[in-house]
A and B are shown apart, each in its own frame.
Chain A
Amino acid sequence: MITGYSFRFAFESLKKEFWINVIAALSAGVGLFIIAILSITFYSINSVAKKLPERFTIILYMKDNTPADEINKLLLNLKNNSMVRSARLITKDSALNELKKRLKDSSFLIEGLDENPLPDSVEIRLRSDAVEKALLKDFIKELRSVPSVDDIDYGEDVMESIVMIKKAVETSGIAFIAVILTGILFNFYTTIRILFYRRKEEVETFKLLGASGGFIRAPFLIEGAAIGIAGGLVASLMVFGLTQVFAFLSTRLPFIASFNIQPYLLSFLIILPLAGALLGVAGAFLSIGRIRY
């Protein structure tokens, strides 16, 4: 039962036990800040991984003397595939011209060749949602089974490393977040327990006068929520500070720009105090337990 009195009781206690509450809010704030940083890291790695297929090119090297209509049929099939964003033919002649352009001053290396050693090839670009490793493997397998395809190059190692890093960060990150969340919860649990014991006499009198469990519990839950919100605001401030540091650094160090947290800032300013409040209430609830008469 939450009444105006519950709020008054809670804020009296917040004022009276000011330093305990400040320390609890700061510890919760640091914990929530670390969680925010981990979430931002997740997001950044995920977004890099998501964009990967767009930059990702699969090259199909065709067998010599593959008839043009067979290549055209393959191109048509690829264009109809939902995973494929684009597919284009690079003829052996255009490939040789491209090579000559790249070699520039060293083009004498290929001048002595009697015939063009390069094969016809097909360059495939994937859609961004085709990042799933399993899907990609199936797709490659399917392409390998095409009789006119001689070889395939698709940067398998890079893809696997990215997927592995993503998984490792996810697993360790989730475990780390769980540990920190438990720590924050324990922080609220002990703080509210101290506050509860400091007012034990008062609480005992309330019980004898007929107060319900809800009446006794309410101020402590409010107190937990208030400390949690304060902790969340501390974390929000720290995240805001970090965005300023990133904004400054990204002008000097371009790779920092890929960890752009500016778009998440507003969400964090809302989510962190809310998460703090929820953890505070949960910690207080666990701390007080059942009221026994």
Chain B
Amino acid sequence: MIHFEGVSKIYEKQLALKEITLSIEKGELVYITGPSGAGKTTLLKLIYAHERPEKGRLVVGDYDLSVITQKEIPLLRRMVGIVFQDFRLIDTKTVFENVAMPLRIRGLSDRDLKDFVFDSLRLVNLRHKIEAYPPTLSGGEQQRIAIARAIVAEPQILLADEPTGNLDPENTKAIMDIFKEINAKGTTVVIATHNPDLYTHSGRRVFKLQEGSLTGVEVL
């Protein structure tokens, strides 16, 4: 589903990722780990074409990202659901509107998208917050709204960047359970985290990054 072949990314003459080669299969749930600045976010950004590789070949689904056109980028992003580290919720829109956004982008009408939004919010246990605005929600609730938005259009790939950062253990567990549930339905899930509690004893592949290099892959 996702194939990196010798991919490098340079930011202002500094190598952010060095010759990364890895493959993530369809339906897998994997972790990308490493300390801050190791390149986890950059690796995710490359997958949804927010950044372009300077070197190497990167294939996501049917798209070869080294030759992808501007018109194809929105189509690629529609097959990827993203949980951003800073959530990227729109403060002036209600929870319903925030979660409905990926469906509106796909051209669904109000009537057609309602059920998808309700199902998604039910999955993250926030159906009752439908009329609320993001600034009135706690960090954990905002995180769950971001997840609901990422999964509402049933993407083939789900990317989550530090999805449990600053959350208490109870919220962390709830969110990890949601990811496992989504993965069980066949979605490929990639979680970038520096928190070892998430992947230890998970039985999943863990890609370890250190200063932009892939230093190992383990099943933990």
Contact = CB atoms under 8 A, between A and B. Distances in A.
Interface of A: 1, 3-5, 201-202, 205-213, 215, 290, 292-293
A208 B105 contact: no
A212 B70 contact: no
Contacts of A201: 90
Contacts of A207: 74, 77
Across the A-B interface, give the 5 residue pairs with the lowest CB-CB distance, nearest first. A210-B77, A210-B78, A293-B73, A211-B105, A210-B74
Nearest to A9: B104
Contact of A206 (B49, B82, B92, B105): B105
Contacts of A209: 77, 82, 101-102, 105, 149
A144 to B, nearest CB: 71
A208 B82 contact: yes
Given A3-B109, A202-B92, A210-B75, 12 more contacts: A202-B90, A205-B90, A208-B50, A208-B82, A208-B84, A209-B82, A210-B74, A210-B80, A211-B105, A215-B105, A290-B70, A293-B49
Interface in B37-94: 48-50, 70, 73-78, 80, 82, 84, 88, 90, 92
Given A1-B107, A208-B48, A210-B77, A292 B70 contact: yes
A15 to B, nearest CB: 12
A51 to B, nearest CB: 58
Contacts of A211: 74, 105
A3 B103 CA distance: 12
B218 interface: no
B12 interface: no
A5 B108 CA distance: 10
A4 B110 contact: yes
Contacts of B78: 210
Contacts, number: 50
A290 B69 CA distance: 13
Interface in B122-173: 149
Given A210-B77, A212-B74, A4 B109 contact: yes
Given A4-B109, A4-B110, A293-B49, A208 B104 contact: no
Nearest to B108: A3
A209 B50 CA distance: 11
A227 to B, nearest CB: 21
A207 B73 CA distance: 9
A210 B77 CA distance: 5
B70 A3 contact: no
Contact of B104 (A5, A202, A292): A5
Contacts of A208: 48, 50, 77, 82, 84, 88
A29 B154 CA distance: 48
Contact of A210 (B70, B88, B102, B109): B102
B52 to A, nearest CB: 10
Contacts of B149: 209
Nearest to B113: A5
B141 to A, nearest CB: 18
A202 B70 CA distance: 19
B110 to A, nearest CB: 7
B88 A205 contact: yes
Contacts of B73: 293
A216 to B, nearest CB: 9
Contacts of B107: 1, 3
Nearest to A202: B90
Contact of A293 (B74, B102, B105): B74
Contacts of A212: 74, 105
B71 to A, nearest CB: 8
A82 B82 CA distance: 79
A289 B67 CA distance: 23
Contacts of B104: 3, 5
Contacts of A210: 74-78, 80, 102, 105-106
